[in-house]
Amino acid sequence: MRKLFRVLPVVAFVVMAGCDMPSSPSAKTDTSAAGSVPAAAVHTPIEPVVEPAANATVRTKPFEFAHTPTTESSATACEFGGLRIPASVKVYAAGSYGGSKQDFQIDQSGHTATRMDVAVNQPDAPVMLMLGSYEPTVWNIGWTQGTQILAVLVGGYHRQVITGLPSRVPVVVSTHENRGPCSYFYVAPKEAATLNPIARRVFGRPVDMLYPAHNGQVVVGAPLAAGVALLTDAGAKQASAFRLPNSQLAGPAGLEQAVRDGFLRPADSSDAAAWQAAERAQPDVARDVPPIAGGTPPARPPGMFRAYVVLKAYTFPSGLYGANAATFFVPKGVPRPTGERGHSTIYDFNTMGCAGVACRND
């Protein structure tokens, strides 16, 4: 039965696999957390290839791809034992440092999850995939009619998850966090020199083409014609299904959640003025610096970019880097937040200390 599946734009190596024949049986591959999360490495058990019955079918559903002109088990070897690899096979690598940012985590790295949508279009030859991303990533896989994905090798530093493949497609996930059998790698042009040695080890041949992903999307194989239909496994999970249980939202979404839950309140100009007044009230500690012509310049006012006041014990959400950074005022009697502040700035009334990128260095 075919249903509609929405794919949104979303760095680890994955080798994607489909059926031996267009009519091979379908199943579904899932993954779970690595590292400190149960079930670290992923490797779908591989059985000797058996020709499917002529009337067997793979259950799929449409795979929407906005194109612009498995339960995890431990893999003990960097190989697909028992997999028959035809001479006509194509080995394609695809990925980038990360995909499209999500508002949740899929591991305990503290990094926001990303999503990578992969459309495979190679009906003229069977395909084996190497997918890779540095960031924790959910790989969402779809393919065109007639495309056969034989196996998938996924690499990365943080957790990597595959959704959309039939369960008979063998998958090996090898990351730094799960101490995978193929060690740590991800796919990007600057990492191209690392790929062929791994491909020869796993597939017995080098990579035929590397496809860099952009904005969480990548087309593997031939270019997609306008309006081409794509399929994915009928039981494919949404990326959010892999969210780490009991984890808070990441980045700005996590800060908004903290306001709703009473951990933070938005700061205003009065909070900045209170910080400046507290600084002026500090005793003047003699410093070994020469006098400045025209007098000492006034203290720079505190930054107010995405500013909040901390109301009680709080742990920073992940992903507070770059444009997602924030400013935090910590009143007297309130503990400084724990966790990774990223590129954020903290003004602590308890110590009258400033920590972060907006602090003056004079």
Judged by phi (left if over 0) then psi (alpha if -120 to 50, else beta), residue 115 lies in beta
Backbone angles phi, psi at 17, to 5 degrees: -135, 145
Task: Tell me how far apart the alpha carbons of residues 351 and 307 are, in angstroms, rounded to a whole number.
Answer: 19
The two tokens of residue 150 are: 């034989």
149 and 111 in one domain?
yes
Cα distance between the two ends of the chain: 67
205 and 128 in one domain?
yes
In a domain, 26, yes or no: no
Task: Tell me how far apart the alpha carbons of residues 135 and 222 are, in angstroms, rounded to a whole number.
Answer: 27
In a domain, 268, yes or no: yes
In a domain, 338, yes or no: yes
In a domain, 21, yes or no: no
In a domain, 337, yes or no: yes
Are the C-beta atoms of 266 and 258 separated by less than 8 Å? no
Q: Which domain range does residue 223 map to?
A: 42-242
pLDDT for residue 56 = 53
Q: What is the pTM of this model?
A: 0.62
Which amino acid type is present at position 269? Answer: S
**Boundary of a domain, candidates 242, 268, 291:** 242
Task: Tell me how far apart the alpha carbons of residues 122 and 114 are, in angstroms, rounded to a whole number.
Answer: 26
347 and 235 in one domain?
no
HEC assignment per residue over 298-353: CCCCCCCCCEEEECCCCECCCCCCHHHCCEEEECCCCCCCECCCCCCEEEECCCCE
Pairing of strands 160-163, 42-43: unpaired
3-state secondary structure of 80: coil
Q: Which helix (H) or strand (E) holds 193?
A: none
185 and 63 in one domain?
yes
54 and 202 in one domain?
yes
Task: Tell me how far apart the alpha carbons of residues 206 and 216 are, in angstroms, rounded to a whole number.
Answer: 25
313 and 341 in one domain?
yes
Task: Tell me how far apart the alpha carbons of residues 255 and 326 are, in angstroms, rounded to a whole number.
Answer: 9
Residues whose CB falls within 8 Å of the CB of residue 337, separated by 6 or more in sequence, listed in order: 310, 313, 314, 315, 316, 328, 330, 346
Task: Tell me how far apart the alpha carbons of residues 148 and 169 are, in angstroms, rounded to a whole number.
Answer: 10
pLDDT for residue 286 = 58
In a domain, 27, yes or no: no
Single out the residue of 140, 142, 96, 139 nearest to residue 122, CA to CA: 142
3-state secondary structure of 132: strand
Q: How many domains does the chain have?
A: 2
271 and 214 in one domain?
no
List, for the chain, all residue ranges whose pLDDT scores fall below the cut of 70.
1-56, 66-76, 284-287, 296-299, 360-362
328 and 229 in one domain?
no
Are the C-beta atoms of 196 and 172 separated by less than 8 Å? no
275 and 148 in one domain?
no
Name beta bridge partners: 178: none
pLDDT for residue 50 = 40
In a domain, 70, yes or no: yes
**Boundary of a domain, candidates 242, 273, 291:** 242
182 and 313 in one domain?
no
In a domain, 236, yes or no: yes
- How buried is 203 (Cβ within 10 angstroms: 0-12 exposed, 13-18 middle, 19+ buried)? buried
Backbone angles phi, psi at 191, to 5 degrees: -100, 10
159 and 53 in one domain?
yes
339 and 237 in one domain?
no
> What residue has token string 């591991």?
107
